Structure 1
Amino acid sequence: MNYNTKVVICQSSLELRRYIGSDCLTMDVGGVLKYNHLEWVQHRMDIERMKSSATVIAQSLSEFGRCLKETELPNDVETTARILEIQTAERDAIKEDFRISIRKGLSLLRHVRQLDVKPEHEQLSPTRLHNVTAIERMLIQLEETERSFDAFWMKHEKRLTQCLKLRRFEDSFRKLQSSFAKHMIHLEEHREVGDGPQKAEQLGQAHAEYCQQAMDDVNGARLLRDAGQELISSQDVELTGSLLPKCDELDRMADALSGALERRTKVLQLSKDMHQQIHAANNWCHRGVELLTTIPYDCTASCAANVLTTVDKYIEEGKSLKLDTFNSEPDLNKLIMLTTTETSTLLAQVAERINDMQRLSASRRDALQKMASREIRKPPVQIVSPEKLPYNNGDKCYSTISDNKNSIPTSSPSKSYDDKRTYTYFDRMISVCDKRTY
């Protein structure tokens, strides 16, 4: 295809202005447009560098975005924390590239527009206006890209942060689960309740110190449960689907351990009280045996009244013994389950010993009361008048005197068989009380 174009050769700028207006010509050919070719070249070079920088940022952003999308959530705390740290560093590097590129673009825009001379677009030459438009367009694209990247990164960072919190929750859960298992094993192995009041008190102090350590884990479990409930409230089903059972398990473990510690504390206190009562009961029985064995079998009414006061006081002291209250304690079954056979046998023996001493004391009190209430009776004396008998009847006189002697009653009573058996039982009680002392 042939084109016929008329070509006019102008000999001077004056002749050129006949065909083209001066407002469309540069100042070097007599127009009013300012144009500096070196300046234009410099501006174009700066604009191309800015385009190249934006292209590099776009490539880096594309690769980084693909890497973030392909990131799989790890199952341990260390890997999750390392991935979050590395990707955060890469994100900060890209953000720095954005800031540098935008700062250079704004500086170039001010230089091209010459704001100090021509702040309005109408006063710019076409070349400058074209360059300004290109720079502004690139700046707008960079800002929009940065905003999109920030929104994407915010979602990804939130996902990684929640994953890290979840992994830390699971790690803390496993550690607490192991600690709770050790605590329960410790309580299972340390079931001793002591064989005396001092030993029970020592065990109680040691258990109180252990409770302080164990309660730290109980409080930690409850704090971890609260953190898990906060993660559940994030409504991320992918990450928090397994949190609810673990929170329930933390509640269960905390309640179980705190309950076991409290039961152990009550059992040790009950053991201490029990051994103190056994100690007091043994002392009471021992004193009772000594008291009853020192009481004479037969005494005067005044002596019986004095001894009766002592026996009444002793019986009244026996009523203050609270060994029978252990039979109605709700924790007695737990105590019996945790105590040794020796302690259980001792508890039964002491209870039987108290009943025996109460029965014997009441029996002796009744006897003393009868002695104190009776009047002293003197043995009757038979008056014999002397008779004058012949000397030759000596044998008959001897016989009469012998009969009179035989008629005088004896005043030295002897102990019966039952009394001997009672004193033998007292001796056995003393030996039993001496066998187990605290």
Structure 2
Amino acid sequence: MVALIPDWRSQFGHRSSSLLSSPLFSFQFLLFSCFCSCFTSFPGNLHLVLVLRPSSLLSPAPSPTSSTDLGFRFSQDDFMLKMPVVMLRSVGDLLRYIDEHHLTSDFTGTVQYCHSDWIVLRTAIESFAVTVKEIAQLLQGFGSELSETELPDEANAIEFLLHSHTHRYRQMKDDIRSVLKEGRILQSNLETAKASRRDGVEERDIQADMDTVQRLLAQLRDMEEAFDGFFEKHHLKLQQYLQLLRYEINFHHTAVTIYWVCVLSDQEKEIPSVGSTVVQTEQLLKDLEMLDSHAQEEMGRAQVVILHGHQLAANHHYALALIIQRCNELRHHCDVLTTSIRAKRASLTRAKDLLLRLEEALRWCDEGAYLLASQMVDRFQTKEGAQEALQCLSCHQERAPSYLKNSQDTLSLEFEAILTPQLQSQISMVTEKLSSVQSMIRNREQCLRKLADIQVRPIQLVAPRPEPDQTSQRCKSPLFSPKHGTGLSNPPSPPMNITIHSILFSFPSTAQSSSHETKISFHIMKELIATERIYVDELLSVLLGYRAEMEDPAMSSLLPSALCSQKDVLFGNMPEIYQFHSRIFLQDLQGCLETPERVGACFLQRKEKFQVYERYCQNKPRSELLWRQCSDSPFFQECQKKLDHKLGLDSYLLKPVQRLTKYQLLLKELLKHCTEDQYRCELQEALHSMLELLKAVNDSMHQIAITGYQGDLSQLGRVVLQGGFSVWISHKRAAVRMKELARFKPMQRHLFLYEHALLFCKRRDEDTLDRTPSYSFKHCLRMSAVGITENVKGDVKKFEIWYSGREEVYIVQAPTVEVKVSWLTEIRKILTNQQKLRNGLYYYFYLSPLPFVCLFVCLLCGYTLRFFSSSFFCLSYELIWI
């Protein structure tokens, strides 16, 4: 290869102007620089260097033999030329070494060559190559970034990544398209240049450049295709990950819902699968239906998620195994929940069927017992009456449910799948009651058949008998009328010679009894039982016809809004009263039909149970207020119409109060006609307990009307007495005493005497429909510091109550002397009990949880005592225990 160094001034430009005027060494340095450039730029080996001397150089031209000297001088310092260097004088000398067909027109050659065009073309090719390399590096960096990007766990972040990656992908695509366009333009220019060249060498050079550009374009297209495929997979992966993430979110939401539904189902399973009553079982079925509707909604959402999962699986999602697992898990939850609800519904339905049968059996037993008790013994004495009673019993036997004919074991086997110990005990109880009632009915039927078959013999009168109309009139007279007592005082008529073979009950018959007192007691007992049955039936009709109807959805449109969730206020504890009378007290009374004098023991035995009336009466004002607000509602009119009641609900809500007051009247009548001392004591005690109950109910009704008392009235003990009095107050302190001298008229105060305190209140008659008074609290006296003076000069109805050693003195005037005596008696009892406590043990102690600490507690109030000066001080009663 020959290196031709043309006019070197074109290479260095104006920077060499200062070197031209320098010595020859400067020229040689420039030549050295050019040689270095040639060695580094030419890819092959250099065999000859031709140097064309510049025409402006004034130094003489070197001889041909001077080339070696020149090369030697260069090698002395830093560089050694291993090829000859020839210095040429003119362009013509150049032709001796290079043919003119290989020289450009600048050197008198024939080659058409523009160096500036070549530089532009080479610059464009090299710039295109650099751009392609940069594009490759950018694509590689972007691909690495996409591969190393950690996928977040939030859908919004995934969507942001999708948007940002897609945006950058489009930018990269725009850059690739721009570079491709640049390469096509460069290729087009090379094709144009090739077409304008006729020289084969030039064509080969241009063809080589075109091949380079074509290779770069192909490389760029391959990179674009690979980048498109990579980004398509990456974009699909992000989309599927977003779909999976959303599916997981939906799954978790649905799974949480299913979880809570399963929790509700587990809580429902904790309740027995069978109820103890029909109402409870129906409520359980309603709750189960609500749970089922809620579960159906949640399982509908779960089915949507399962369908979504199947769609993802059908689209060959990369997380196919996880999606199938989630779908199976959701389907399992739904199947388990559906199965459990279905099984529980079947169990509750069977339990309801069983309880309905037991309830129907109990109803049949109650109707049978009521029929037996309601049949009048007087009518059995005739054949027609006995046959009629026998026919009633036969009709009742025919109305018996068919399943009552089965044994207990048969019923247990039929419902074996749902039987619980509670249900088994109910079946046993119903079976026992059924056997008892059936036995009673059989005995009654046997007696009635005997009576129906008896041929009544002629009656021989031993003594004149009263006229039938008079006897009938006396038997039908009212029980507690004044005339009735007069009629009973007549001397007994001689007994008639009538023989009766069998009577169901062993009470003395009219023909056999010689005691008017026994007959009256028997009639009173019959009336007590009969009215008790009517009372129980009325309570049941109210509870079923009104209270139960408030829960009926069909009647909800007629129910006033003020009554919603207020049935406990309107009816109070009437269900508790009904349970007591129907299941306990009525049975006790029926057991005393043969021995009416023993009824006192029944009242004493159930004394505590009668406390339910106190709560009912305390709730009565609230019930009446609610009734006045809603009495015009069509709901009550519809219920009254269904029950065929002539009176409204308010009349039936008053029945418990009326019934409670009637017991003491019946006990008084029984006590009046009881002859045995033992039973008279029981009746007297029962009468006293009922009067005490009435008094306690009355006092509690007044107590709930107290307003303004800052504290708990229950801590004061029970109400002993209450009533209105005229009160004068005097104090030892002069200022207060002078202020009260102007008060000549007494204050009207309503006093409440408790076991531990005496309350002074002012009665206020409210201007309301029920005229119920209220009592404004004024003053409280602790009974531990109270003393009394029984007599006050000037008035026998006055007495003194003084407080804290006569620091305060209250002169109280009772309405009557009897009221004064009763109050003094009760106050004296309270003070005596307190004195007994003072003379005996005043406190007790117990060990505190803290070590080495003993606490002393007052026996009067139950609070801890404070210790000072070797004594104990009670803050509640202001007493010092020594």
TM-score normalised to structure 1 length: 0.63
Aligned partners of 1:193 and 1:200 also within 8 Å: yes
Amino acid at match of 2:392: T
- 2:438 maps to 358
Change (3 A) 1:231 1:135: closer
Please, which of 506, 509, 526 is the counterpart of residue 420 of structure 1?
A: 506
For 2:458 and 2:104, the matched residues in 1 are separated by 185
Change (3 A) 1:377 1:415: closer
Please, which of 91, 97, 106 is the counterpart of residue 6 of structure 1?
A: 97
- 1:283 maps to 363
3-state SS of paired residue (2:222): helix
Change (3 A) 1:62 1:229: closer
Amino acid at match of 1:54: I
Aligned partners of 2:361 and 2:430 also within 8 Å: yes
1:352 offset after TM fit, Å? 1.8
Change (3 A) 1:251 1:59: closer
3-state SS of paired residue (1:79): coil
- 1:210 maps to 291
Question: Larger RCO: Structure 1 or Structure 2 (Cα < 8 Å, ≥ 6 residues apart)?
Answer: 1
For 2:196 and 2:404, the matched residues in 1 are separated by 110
Are 2:267 and 1:191 aligned?
A: no
Aligned partners of 1:166 and 1:240 also within 8 Å: no
For 2:123 and 2:322, the matched residues in 1 are separated by 60
Moved more, 102-111 or 350-359: 102-111
Please, which of 167, 182, 187 is the counterpart of residue 108 of structure 1?
A: 182
Higher percent of residues as strand? 2
Aligned partners of 1:285 and 1:433 also within 8 Å: no
Gaps of 5+ in 2: 1-45, 50-95, 198-205, 461-495, 508-525, 537-579, 587-882
For 1:119 and 1:37, the matched residues in 2 are separated by 14
1:100 offset after TM fit, Å? 0.9
For 1:412 and 1:119, the matched residues in 2 are separated by 153
- 2:583 maps to 435
Amino acid at match of 1:143: E
Aligned partners of 1:176 and 1:217 also within 8 Å: yes
RMSD of Structure 2 on Structure 1 (CA): 5.2
For 1:329 and 1:225, the matched residues in 2 are separated by 43
- 2:145 maps to 64
Change (3 A) 1:157 1:323: farther
- 1:51 maps to 132
For 2:222 and 2:454, the matched residues in 1 are separated by 129
Are 2:166 and 1:92 aligned?
A: yes
Aligned partners of 1:43 and 1:131 also within 8 Å: no
Moved more, 286-295 or 86-95: 86-95
For 2:179 and 2:264, the matched residues in 1 are separated by 66
1:85 offset after TM fit, Å? 4.9
Aligned partners of 2:302 and 2:330 also within 8 Å: yes
For 1:264 and 1:202, the matched residues in 2 are separated by 13
- 2:201 maps to none
Gaps of 5+ in 1: 30-34, 382-409
3-state SS of paired residue (1:318): coil
3-state SS of paired residue (2:506): helix
1:104 offset after TM fit, Å? 0.8
- 1:201 maps to 282
Question: Counterparts of 1:290-301 in structure 2 under 5 Å?
Answer: 290-293=370-373, 294=375, 296=377, 298-301=380-383
Question: Counterparts of 1:327-366 in structure 2 under 5 Å?
Answer: 327-328=411-412, 332-336=416-420, 341=422, 345-366=425-446
Please, which of 336, 342, 345 is the counterpart of residue 256 of structure 1?
A: 336
Aligned partners of 2:386 and 2:449 also within 8 Å: yes
Question: Counterparts of 1:26-425 in structure 2 under 5 Å?
Answer: 40=121, 43-44=124-125, 47-48=128-129, 50-64=131-145, 67=148, 79=153, 84-85=158-159, 88-89=162-163, 91-109=165-183, 111-112=185-186, 123=195, 126=206, 129=210, 133=214, 136-150=217-231, 152-153=233-234, 156-157=237-238, 160=241, 164=245, 168=249, 171=252, 175=256, 178-179=259-260, 182-191=263-272, 194-220=275-301, 240=321, 244=325, 250-293=330-373, 294=375, 296=377, 298-319=380-401, 327-328=411-412, 332-336=416-420, 341=422, 345-369=425-449, 372=452, 374=453, 376=455, 378-379=457-458, 412-414=498-500, 416=502, 419-420=505-506
Change (3 A) 1:345 1:175: same
For 1:233 and 1:241, the matched residues in 2 are separated by 14
1:314 offset after TM fit, Å? 0.9
Aligned partners of 1:304 and 1:371 also within 8 Å: yes
For 1:331 and 1:319, the matched residues in 2 are separated by 17
3-state SS of paired residue (2:498): coil
Question: Residue deviations 1:107-140, cap 9 Å, x none?
Answer: 325544669xx99998587388457525632442
For 1:132 and 1:124, the matched residues in 2 are separated by 19
Aligned partners of 1:193 and 1:267 also within 8 Å: yes
For 1:107 and 1:38, the matched residues in 2 are separated by 21
1:355 offset after TM fit, Å? 2.6
Moved more, 99-108 or 150-159: 150-159
Amino acid at match of 1:359: S
Higher percent of residues as helix? 1
Aligned partners of 1:300 and 1:376 also within 8 Å: no
The count of corresponding residues between Structure 1 and Structure 2 is: 378
For 2:294 and 2:274, the matched residues in 1 are separated by 20
For 1:13 and 1:237, the matched residues in 2 are separated by 70
Change (3 A) 1:145 1:218: closer
Question: Residue deviations 1:194-233, cap 9 Å, x none?
Answer: 5543343333323321222234444555665666677778
For 1:371 and 1:45, the matched residues in 2 are separated by 138
Change (3 A) 1:121 1:335: farther
Change (3 A) 1:286 1:155: closer
Change (3 A) 1:323 1:130: farther
Aligned partners of 1:201 and 1:272 also within 8 Å: yes
Change (3 A) 1:182 1:65: same
1:289 offset after TM fit, Å? 1.9
